[in-house]
Amino acid sequence: MLEDKEPTKTTIDSLGEFALIEHLTKSATVSLPSTILSIGDDAAVLKHHGETVVSTDMLVEGVHFDLAYMPLKHLGYKAVVVNLSDIYAMNAQATQVLVSMAVSNRFTLEAIEEIYAGIHLACKTYGVDLVGGDTTSSKQGLQLSVTALGAVSKTGAVLRSGAVENDLLVVSGDIGGAYMGLQVLVRENEVYKVNPQHKPDLESYSYLVERQLKPEARKDVVQLLQELDLKPTAMIDISDGLSSEIMHLCKQSGVGCRVYENKFPLDPQFISVCEEFKLDSTTIALSGGEDYELLFTIKQEDFDKIKGNPNLTVIGYMTSKGDVPSLVTRAEEVIPLKAQGWKAF
């Protein structure tokens, strides 16, 4: 995980807006030829050769994150990564980000530096340039808005709407972990509130906690698809939960779907922590959310290209338009998927 520094205290109003921006962005270096002009002017200048995709996401303190268990550096990292995930979900390479921030004077310069350390680390890790943003004060709390841009390769963007009947439904990585990571953190935080001497032992939950606090976007999967010369027919990233993302693909493509409970890629730590919390792993896998994996459909004849790849799992197939998107359980029952709040059966 990312290390947080010991906080010292410099008020932000002692710096002023311009000095603050300069301070936070001085380590933003330009690494891509498509970034012609970066931070410092009224706007950045970019030059992409083909189509550009652009996406934005806003994170509001108390709504999307809680600083009681989200370290500031992780917050900055995650704010960038979740946006890059949307770019990769279009089958594009992420290239630039802009970061806008509203902060209350409760935050010190050192705290904001931590957020930016996470932002810069994510940019470096994914090879994207930070090319601008906006900085303002807020009456209360912290709001972060990230806009990401990406370049679409010659094969074109992949939309949610392209799946057809009989296409295979594929998911990258494993699912449900981020949600169970949050459950672990919430539980530890409750214990801490009662007993501040309590030192959380997160060792045996490390994978799940990391999935929650330091998610990664699947740049590697988009690269792999290029290498395999495989263009998905439709694609989406899993931010809200597998079930609701499947419903989006089905609705926007005008198809139904069957997914198989026994095919879900689940990490062993996820399974054991579900048992510990007495939660049904299938329910959580379907409705947990925040996994930032890619969910996509491919033509059946492309199956050989992904067969045996440990990063990619076929979990079902698309059916005809009138068919309700459904889960086939281990007991071979067929149950309609729900977008949210999946009830254990």
Compute the distance between CA of residue 267 and CA of residue 328 in angstroms, rounded to an integer.
Answer: 20
Compute the distance between CA of residue 274 and CA of residue 286 in angstroms, rounded to an integer.
Answer: 13
Binding mask 7-46 for ligand ADP (x = CB under 6 A): --------------x---x-------------xxxx----
Q: Which DSSP string do the residues of 90-117 spell out, in sequence order?
A: TTEEEEEEEEEEEE-TTSBHHHHHHHHH
Which does residue 21 bind out of ligand ADP, Mg ion, none, counting CB within 5 to 8 angstroms by kind?
ligand ADP
Q: For residue 48, what is the DSSP state? A: -
In terms of CB distance, is 130 or 273 closer to Mg ion?
Answer: 130
Q: Which DSSP string do the residues of 273-314 spell out, in sequence order?
A: HHHHTT--HHHHHHH------EEEEE-GGGHHHHTT-TTEEE
Q: Between residue 146 and residue 185, which ones bind ligand ADP under the rule CB under 6 A?
A: none
The SS3 call for residue 332 is coil
Paired tokens of 33 = 């030829």
Paired tokens of 253 = 């493509």
# residues near ligand ADP by CB under 6 A: 13
297 near 169, Cβ under 8 Å?
yes
Question: Is 17 near Mg ion (CB under 5 A)?
Answer: no
Residue 24 beta carbon to ligand ADP: minimum distance, rounded to whole angstroms: 6
107 near 142, Cβ under 8 Å?
yes
Residue 16 beta carbon to Mg ion: minimum distance, rounded to whole angstroms: 14
Residue number closest to ligand ADP, CB atom:
132
In terms of CB distance, is 22 or 134 closer to Mg ion?
Answer: 134
Q: Which of 111, 15, 12 is nearest to 61 (CA)?
A: 111
Q: Between residue 105 and residue 134, which ones bind Mg ion under the rule CB under 5 A?
A: 134
In terms of CB distance, is 104 or 135 closer to Mg ion?
Answer: 135
Stretch that binds ligand ADP, among 81-89, 131-139, 173-181, 237-245 (CB under 6 A): 131-139
Residue number closest to Mg ion, CB atom:
134
Residue 92 beta carbon to ligand ADP: minimum distance, rounded to whole angstroms: 22
Compute the distance between CA of residue 58 and CA of residue 77 in angstroms, rounded to an integer.
Answer: 14
Tell the residue number behind the tokens 């979990």, with chain if given.
315
Compute the distance between CA of residue 19 and CA of residue 16 in angstroms, rounded to an integer.
Answer: 6
In terms of CB distance, is 98 or 208 closer to Mg ion?
Answer: 98
In terms of CB distance, is 80 or 312 closer to ligand ADP?
Answer: 80
Residues that bind Mg ion (CB under 5 A): 134
Residues that bind ligand ADP (CB under 6 A): 21, 25, 39-42, 99, 101, 130, 132-135
